[in-house]
Structure formats: C-alpha cells, structure tokens
Amino acid sequence: MTLLSVLGVISTAIFSGTSLLYTTLGETIHQRSGIVNLGLEGVMLISASAGFAVTAISGNPYLGVLVAILAGGLTNMILGYLVVSRRGNQLASGLSLMFFGFGVSALIGQSYVGAKINPLPRITLPGLDKLPLLYSSLFKFDILIYLAVPMAILIWWLLFRTRWGLGLRAVGESADTAFASGRNPFVIRYQALFFGGMLAGLGAAHLSIAYTMSWSDFMTAGRGFIAVALVIFSKWHPLRAIFGALLFSGAVAFQLLLQSSGVQISPFLLDTIPYVLTLVVLIAWGGTRRQAAPASLGRVYQGSE
C-alpha cells in the first residue's frame, strides 16, 4: 500500500462522509425532539434532485445548494403535518415520505439525468498547491466540506448550550413535562423537523452538486438509512456523529482499496464491510444505549388539555 492509497482512503472518507454527516446531524435534531424520521432517504432525494435541477438551469451551484436546503426543510413539513398535527404513526409516515420522495425526485430530476453542471468550486488547502495534481486534488475540498465540522459543533452548541436546545431536548424526553414548563411541543417539533430537513438537504446537495456532479434516480442508495443508524451509533450526540460518518465512509473507501489491490477475497464479501462494521459497533455499544436515547422517541404527543 502506497502513501497515495492511504491518503486516498482519508480523502475519500472526507469526501463521501460529508453528506452522511450533514444528514446524521439533521436526524439527530429530529430524534432529540422525539421524532424518528425514516423518510430521510426521500427527503435527500428530493433535495438532491431539486438542487441539481436548479444548478443545471441557473448555472449557479450556490443557488442549487440553497434550493436543496429549502426543499429538505419543506419536505419534512409533510412529515410534520402527519406526525405532529395529525398524530400519525412516525415509522409508517416516515416510510411513506420515503416513497413519496422516490417518485417526486424522479419527476424533478427527469430532464436532468446526464446533464452537465457547474459543480461547487473546490479550493486547495493552502500550502498544498505546489504538490502534483494527483496529490493536491485529494485535498481540494469544496466549501461544504470545510463547513461540515463547524456545523457539527454549531449543532452541539445549539442543542446543549442554548435555551432553544434545552426546550427541544425536553420535548424529546417528555413532551408533557415540557408543555407543563411552558414550551409548545408542536411548535418545537415542527422547528426540529424543518431545521433537520434543511441539514439533510445540505447533505444531499453535497452529494449531487459537489461530489458526484450528477443526478440519477435513487442516487442516495440508502444513505438516508445509514444516517439513522449513525444517529444511534453516535448516541444522539452531534460531535460523535463526525466520527461515525468518517468511520462508515472510510470503511467504504477501505473495502474499495482492498478490492483494487488484488486481495483474493470475493468483492461481494468486501462490499459488506461498512455495514458489518456499523453493526458490530452498535452491538458493542448497545449496553449504554438506553440512557442515551430520548425517552419519548417515537411516541405520539397527543396534546395536553
């Protein structure tokens, strides 16, 4: 294994982990407010296709990112109406949102499959621009990558250091108690869904506008669900989510490295490494999960009279 291939695993982990991190942060906010959003896959697809389409039309990737963010937040409002206002079952509503997203994103993206866009520009880290292109291009990141870790810190600060975050977590632990102390669980959950959806939209925007520079149906390929798993993996903590996202995408990069370095193991088996790894860590940390999960996660708040 050469230096380039080791650096490459790190680079790929950062590139493809970014969209996972944003989405995981979004789901962390949902779940901290007591809502399991299984529709993330659909939310991401709608955001990725809308952002890509707008970038293709306008030629401006920043406008595309903005639209993707808004599309994510607005799509989540559908879930909000279902599970907060209409008090529907969260799991069933989330899954329907996912299928809704499959269809809507295919419709939005229909004319833009195979379109060539102006991707988000990539900026080389200072000092690295003297290296050969093969190396410098490894660490030539777009703005969304540079903002990913600061965003995780910001979310941590919002959740654990502000009154808004305290209220949000209180609703996730016990909506009735939060209501008794003067908070409105309905409003807070809508806010959490909108904000979290915007983050998922940001992740999706990175996927289609910055990293792959393309749109294809179902292009998220399960990343919405991986994000849900990573929330549990990171024990509902935004900073641990950085580690989770990097570990998962690093494992993908690592198994591709194994494949391409001629290891005589079936590629079918190698492809399962990232998922097996996630499972193993979940099992290993399983014992402490109960204390970490918001107490009323997944429960329908019936309102307090």
Partner 1 sequence: MNAKSLYLFMATLLVAMLVLAGCAPDEVAPEITEAPMPEPTEPPAPADEEPCLIIGALHGGPINDAGYNQAMHESVMQIKENIPCVKIIEAENVPEEAAATTTMENMISEGAGMIIATAFNHQYPALTLAEQYPDVVFEHAGGWEMSGNFANFFGEPPETWYIMGVAAGLMTETNKLGFVAAFPIGWTNTFINAFTLGAQSVNPDVETIVAFAFDWADSAKEADATNSLINQGVDVVTMHVDSPATVIGTAESRGVYSIGFQSVEAQQFAPEYWISGIGYTLGGKLTWLASTVIDGTWEPIFLRCGIADGCMEMAPFGKNVPQDVQDQVLAVRDDIEAGNVMVFAGPIIDQDGNEVVPAGEVLSVELMSAVDWFVEGVIGSPK
When asked if residue 264 is in the footprint of partner 1 (CB under 8 A), the reply is yes
- Residues 52-91 within binding reach of partner 1 (CB under 8 A): 53, 56-57, 67, 71, 74-75, 77-78, 81, 85
When asked if residue 187 is in the footprint of partner 1 (CB under 8 A), the reply is yes
- Residues 93-132 within binding reach of partner 1 (CB under 8 A): 104, 106-116, 119, 122
Stretch in the footprint of partner 1 (CB under 8 A) among 33-41, 145-153, 205-213, 282-290: 205-213
- Residues 130-159 within binding reach of partner 1 (CB under 8 A): 133-134, 137-138, 140
What does each C-alpha distance from 275 to 188, 253, 264 come to in angstroms?
Answer: 33, 13, 20
CB 161, CB 287: distance < 8 Å: no
Tell me which of 128, 153, 265, 295 binds partner 1, using CB under 8 A: 265
Taking the least distance from each CB to partner 1, the nearer of 90 and 191 is 191
State the CB neighbour count (10 A cutoff) for residue 70.
17
Which of these, 16, 40, 25, 293, lies nearest to 152 by C-alpha position? 25
When asked if residue 217 is in the footprint of partner 1 (CB under 8 A), the reply is yes
As measured in angstroms, the least distance from the Cβ of 228 to partner 1 is 17
Taking the least distance from each CB to partner 1, the nearer of 56 and 152 is 56
Tell me which of 178, 192, 230, 252 binds partner 1, using CB under 8 A: 252
When asked if residue 262 is in the footprint of partner 1 (CB under 8 A), the reply is yes
Taking the least distance from each CB to partner 1, the nearer of 264 and 288 is 264
CB 236, CB 55: distance < 8 Å: no
Q: Per-residue x/- mask for partner 1, residues 7 to 36, rule CB under 8 A?
A: xxx-xx--xx--x-----------------
What b/e string do you get for 74-91 counting C-beta neighbours within 10 Å, with b at 16 or more? bbbebbbebbbeeebebe
Q: In whole angstroms, what is the distance from residue 73 CA to residue 260 CA?
A: 39
CA 70 to chain centre: 15
Taking the least distance from each CB to partner 1, the nearer of 223 and 240 is 223
What does each C-alpha distance from 165 to 85, 173, 268, 293, 300 come to in angstroms?
Answer: 21, 12, 43, 16, 20
- Per-residue tokens: 108: 């939005």
Amino acid (1-letter code) at residue 227: A
Taking the least distance from each CB to partner 1, the nearer of 135 and 243 is 135
CA 77 to chain centre: 17
Taking the least distance from each CB to partner 1, the nearer of 37 and 249 is 249
Taking the least distance from each CB to partner 1, the nearer of 177 and 184 is 184
